[in-house]
Amino acid sequence: MSVRIGVLALQGDFAEHGAMLGRLGAETVEVRQPSDIDGLEGLIIPGGESTTIGKLMMRYNLREPIRDLAAAGTPIWGTCAGLILLARNVGRNQPLLNLLDITVERNAFGRQTDSFETDLEIDGISGGPFPAVFIRAPVVREVGPGVQVLSRLDDGTIVAVRHGRLFGTSFHPELTGDTRLHAGFVEMARHA
Ligand code: GLN
């Protein structure tokens, strides 16, 4: 039986996540309305523009169904803007899911290093460093109790976190050919 993974498809690079999931043999559902959430075994919130995604999430009444999914123990993974949306606090007023007890700083790398690529060690991912693409990326400045740090940049900046079955990454794993993170998420969804 193939596993059914939703990708929030309001704005941003949801298609790239879908392509990754397709390569792994998962069934992908583009989530645009509450009924799309029924029967999902996992959900990915993509990168894009978190303010826009958040506003559309409110307009289409998706916030509560996504929070219910998390409460039911369904794995959820936010990348880049998706990490921002999962957070409790981003230091400004915008619609958030408030699911991960983290404080996030948006666009944390400033203009000079708007975008960059680096290799990361990520807890739980074997087989060598992971190629990570950062695009106007957020970082995690504080983590609450129970939130596990999975990866840091060389200077200590937190760029991947986990709390139970909730995951957040600052970077874009859907933009490289490396399927290890998606494969790990699909496996977790299959067994959750
Ligand atoms: N800068 C975007 C934001 O703050 C996130 C960028 C991304 O998802 N690549 O919402």
Query: What's the pLDDT score for residue 35?
Result: 98
Asked if 174 is an active-site residue, the reply is: yes
Query: What's the pLDDT score for residue 112?
Result: 72
Distant-in-sequence, close-in-space partners of 137: CB < 8 Å, separation ≥ 6? 80, 107, 108, 109, 159, 170, 171
Judge if the beta carbon of residue 135 lies within 6 A of ligand 1: yes
Query: What's the pLDDT score for residue 110?
Result: 85
Q: Say what the pTM is.
A: 0.97
Tell me which residue range forms the domain holding 151. 4-190
Query: What's the pLDDT score for residue 76?
Result: 98
Which residues of the chain fall below pLDDT 50?
A: none
Q: Is the dihedral of CA 149, 117, 186, 75 positive or negative?
A: positive
Judge if the beta carbon of residue 84 lies within 6 A of ligand 1: yes
How many domains does the chain contain in total? 1
Nearest CA to ligand 1 atom 2: 49
Judge if the beta carbon of residue 115 lies within 6 A of ligand 1: no
Query: What's the pLDDT score for residue 145?
Result: 96
Asked if 105 is an active-site residue, the reply is: no
Query: What's the pLDDT score for residue 61?
Result: 98
Mean pLDDT across the chain, nearest whole number? 97
Q: How far is the CA of 134 from the centre of ligand 1 (A)?
A: 9
Asked if 16 is an active-site residue, the reply is: no
Q: How far is the CA of 81 from the centre of ligand 1 (A)?
A: 4
63-71 and 50-59 helices, crossing angle to 10°: 100
pLDDT tens column, 106-118:
999 987 778 999 9
Residue 28: give its domain's CATH number. 3.40.50.880
